Amino acid sequence: MTAFFGAQMGPILFIYGFAFILFGATCIAIARIGGREEAWVVLGLFGFFHGSGEWLDLIAMVGGDSPAFGLVRLTVMTTSFVLLTEFARRETLRLGLRAPGPWAYIPLLALVAAVATMDGKPAGEAFARYIFGFLGAMATSLVFARFARAYSGFTKRLAMCAAAGFTAYAVAAGVIVPAGQIWPTNVINYDWFIHVTGVPIQLVRGMLACSLAFCVWSIWGKSASERMARVIVDTALDAFLQMNEAGTVIDWSPKAEAMFGWSCGEAIGRKLRDLIIPPENRAANAERLAEFLKNARRGNPGGRYEAPSLRRDGKRIDTEGSVSALRRGDGYIINCFIRDITERVQTEKDRDRNREFLDRIIENISIAILVKDARDLRYVLVNKAAEELWGLPRRQIIGRTARDIFPAATADVIEIMTASCSFQS
């Protein structure tokens, strides 16, 4: 197997380089579309430089090497690892952690240059891998592990796989180096690895690059979906809030801020009942939440409700909510879209009051009023004056026709009188 892979080093180096250029293109795409321009461009440049460096090694193997060309290859490789380290440094700062400034590269680069000048290109490459390759990949691994804390489910696993991939790459690219005269390059090197495993380290690095490109692209794809959902929530006309099974708020949209008067920072971490539920309704709300979760576990994870809500300033508003439960691990996350229906409720109340007022007028007016359905001529409304006129209670009139109530001759007269207008006396 060793002989076979030895004969295939050209294609292996090509695939290795291509894999990292693919990784770089993935990172650049994320930078352009995903809103993380600076750091992800740096990571993409690492992929491009590193892949190009492997292709330069392929050119040197096929077309021959020279000291000048060797220096170019060393420069390209070292630059790629510096870019990897810079990505980790920038993301570390973005996460609010401490990291050294760019000045830290100066003495480290000087050390690599000094070793390459005194002991030759292989020693310089080994030190560049030890200093920038190993440390940069390990720092990037820690960054992705930190990313994983912000995700859940499959995305979290992808981020952890990327962290594990960069840890493996730290060993493959930063520990296993070209053979040299000093320890540990004379012990742990390319020849030792292929002797132990039968596989060239370049093939392993290429496979790691492909897996890293897949993980990073998948993480971004999932994150893009989440960002799109976030945009939809933030621009929705209805207020959106999310809480856990205990009723603690874990998300609060800008519309919820405007509707209820609490900022996102103030709302998250507090009980929803303490924010928007009127005091006299809180016990009933707790019972309704328990019943809702019980129904969710039975396979009915959604529902609608209308209830009064309380603003921060104490003003009460009428709200309509659409609630759904989303399975998350062993429990549920509850999503609520809430609409302010105060104006609609007020309109309905005004309409009901007007109708009640009109009903009172009709009931108490001295003129007999009877209303019947034009389709079947059955009476649907009878006022008190009509009851007195006909000497019958309305329960004996409503739902019946004149022919059901009176003799045929009397019914004929009534139907003639009411053929084109209401009957009154």
How far, in Å, CA of 271 to CA of 260, rounded?
A: 14
Is it true that domain 359-417 has CATH number 3.30.450.20? Answer: yes
Give pLDDT, residue 80.
92
The dotted CATH code for 2-223 is 1.20.1070
User: 0.85 cut: is pTM over it?
Assistant: no
How far, in Å, CA of 312 to CA of 8, rounded?
A: 71
* Single-letter amino acid code for the residue at 299: G
Give pLDDT, residue 7.
54
In the chain, CATH 1.20.1070 covers 2-223
299: left (phi over 0), alpha (psi -120 to 50) or beta: left
**Structural contact between residues 174 and 135, judged by C-beta atoms closer than 8 angstroms:** yes
Provide the 8-state DSSP code for 99: -
302-310: strand order across its sheet: 249-252, 239-243, 331-340, 316-328, 302-310
Question: How far separated are the first and last CA of the chain, in Å rounded?
Answer: 113
The dotted CATH code for 236-343 is 3.30.450.20
**Structural contact between residues 189 and 172, judged by C-beta atoms closer than 8 angstroms:** no
In the chain, CATH 3.30.450.20 covers 236-343, 359-417
Give pLDDT, residue 17.
83
Give pLDDT, residue 310.
92
Helices and strands in the chain, H and E counts:
18, 7
Cα 60 from chain centre: 47
- pLDDT tens string for the chain (425 positions)? 455 445 566 787 788 888 888 888 888 877 776 555 678 888 889 989 988 988 888 888 787 878 888 889 889 989 999 999 998 888 888 777 788 888 888 998 998 888 888 888 888 888 888 888 999 999 999 988 887 776 667 778 888 998 999 999 899 888 888 887 778 878 888 888 888 888 888 888 888 888 888 887 777 766 555 666 666 777 778 899 988 888 888 888 889 999 999 998 888 888 999 999 999 998 888 888 888 888 888 888 778 888 899 999 999 999 998 998 888 767 788 889 999 998 988 898 899 899 899 889 988 988 888 888 888 889 999 999 988 888 899 889 999 988 888 888 888 887 777 665 544 44
Give pLDDT, residue 185.
79
Pairing of strands 249-252, 239-243: antiparallel
The token pair at 391 is: 């000497």
Sign of the alpha-carbon dihedral angle for 31, 36, 38, 40: negative
